[in-house]
A and B are shown apart, each in its own frame.
Chain A
């Protein structure tokens, strides 16, 4: 079955450590996205990529980095510069085109203490 896989589901880190969240899709989608979800704030866009080797900052990119070396993969690194990293992170993908909804993974809950 095609889909988006995020791993791990739960991740714990100490403050000051960088951590990388994995996102893989086998839907052959060109565009991939990372969102952060906090209670009562909905989803906020961190980074998105429309094509391999290219990506753009979203609304809250500070303290995060991404790479897009392969079409299937869009890992997100949460750096020690991110002041409040504890959150639920959602990866999504879509095909190019005017009516192409986002397809989501099941998310990774990151807790930094």
Chain B
């Protein structure tokens, strides 16, 4: 499979911004996704970005894509305790229907 890398842990204070980073390997990826997983549950789609875009904003979420460096980030503004979860980035391959996921970043929000 493809290598999609994320740092494992991130802690922020409530009200601060969180930035979760992801690097991927396949430059032919079409769409890149961010998912949120709460304990014991499945993954919930948060947002996505098409590979020809640089930025996408959706309420408190901002996705930045640097295609040259194959780097994707998710910024959560005004982070709340309910944002504590594991966040996964995923890339959809240009051919076929395969998706590859990062290792996940566990976000802890400190009150």
Number of interface residues of A (CB under 8 A): 29
A81 at the B interface (CB under 8 A) = no
Other than A90-B42, A106-B41, give 11 A-B pairs with Cβ distance below 8 A.
Answer: A35-B101, A43-B43, A43-B88, A48-B97, A92-B43, A98-B92, A99-B50, A102-B33, A102-B45, A104-B43, A107-B42
The A-B contact count (CB < 8 A) is: 64
Report the contact-size class of chain B (Cβ under 8 Å from the partner).
20 to 34
A17 at the B interface (CB under 8 A) = no
A110 at the B interface (CB under 8 A) = no
Contact yes or no, A31 B44, CB < 8 A? no
For the residues of A in contact with B, the DSSP-based class is strand
- Knowing A43-B88, A44-B1, A90-B42, say if A102 contacts B31 (CB, 8 Å): no
